[in-house]
Amino acid sequence: MFRPEIKVIDCTVRDGGLMNKWQFDDAFVGKVYRALNEAGVDYMEIGYLSSERAFSRAEVGPWKFCAEDDVQRVTGGAKDRIKLSAMADIGRIDHDDIPLKADSSLDMIRVACYVHQMDAAIDLAHHCIDKGYETTINLMAVSTVKPRELEEALDDLAQSRVPVIYLVDSFGAFYSEDIDILAKKYFAALPGKTIGIHAHNNQQLAFANTIAGIIAGINYLDGTLYGIGRGAGNCPLELLISFLKNPKFKVRPLIEAIEEQILPWQEKIDWGYFIPYMVTGTMNEHPRAAMAHMESDRKNKVTEFFDQMTRPA
């Protein structure tokens, strides 16, 4: 449980923003920032880096862009111990939209991609490295990737300069034994690189699967306050911090932030374990159908959703 190489990355604003189009106010983001810093968390993923051509500010909040002025405003311009991260999606960011590290409060950029986008992801990650950032590649939806495709992708990553590669259970479909098998595959294919894990909670296994990753040697661990995130949400950060038993971490600031800022959002948006998300997780399906059902006036008609999803084509 205690391993000094472990780094914890909070994705509350970035992943939680998928539920409300990143419409968090400054009080929310500032409180999360201060709580994470006080708790000793290593990184805060404060949102996405996105191109203005891809999204309208009339539809999404500031944390879809992470403009330097916005970051400076909520952090007070202070350079505390915690590092800041943002995620960049392939196809939704131009190289020129990424500032030099010297001109940014961000420390790390995490490039998210699907397996067919690997060449573009490596190119973007190298661009970020050359601009001075720490960088990861997060290969999403790996539960849907065929063995040969995964081997080719890992081979490309092994030859890249990207130091951290993430195992991502986008659909919440994995069990602990899947994490163990895949972690061994990643370590064998990526000598000298650090492996991370990002787990979703469709089957209430995000925390258990993150623990399986720790046991397997994974050292970059993602979580969110109270598990807030798209659909079923993520590994609860407060559970993870409590488990790690590292004296540098403090849980109380996280609990306080949950009470003050996260719990009020639970009255406005639904995340976490719900039957529709369980159904898509067990079927290894994207949660979009479950999300649409949860946003409808029939969200409690869970048998109806189950029958729709399992009906033969």
Query: Among all chains, which residue has been given the structure tokens 């033969």?
Result: 312
State residue 14's pLDDT score.
98
What is the distance between the alpha carbons of residues 78 and 85, in angstroms, rounded to a whole number? 15
| Among 112, 52, 61, CA closest to 86 | 112
CB 94 within 8 A of CB 51: yes
Give the number of other CB atoms < 10 A from CB of residue 226.
Answer: 26
State residue 313's pLDDT score.
74
CB 11 within 8 A of CB 229: yes
Global pTM reads 0.95
pLDDT along the chain (313 residues), means of 10: 89 97 97 96 98 91 97 82 96 95 97 98 98 98 98 98 98 98 98 98 98 98 97 97 94 98 94 96 96 95 97 86
State residue 79's pLDDT score.
63
φ and ψ of 193, to 5 deg: -100, 155
CB 131 within 8 A of CB 102: no
Q: Show the domains of the chain with their CATH numbers.
A: 7-266 (3.20.20.70), 275-310 (no CATH)
What is the distance between the alpha carbons of residues 30 and 22, in angstroms, rounded to a whole number? 14
What is the distance between the alpha carbons of residues 85 and 105, in angstroms, rounded to a whole number? 9
State residue 149's pLDDT score.
98
| Among 95, 35, 96, CA closest to 251 | 35
What is the distance between the alpha carbons of residues 152 and 61, in angstroms, rounded to a whole number? 37
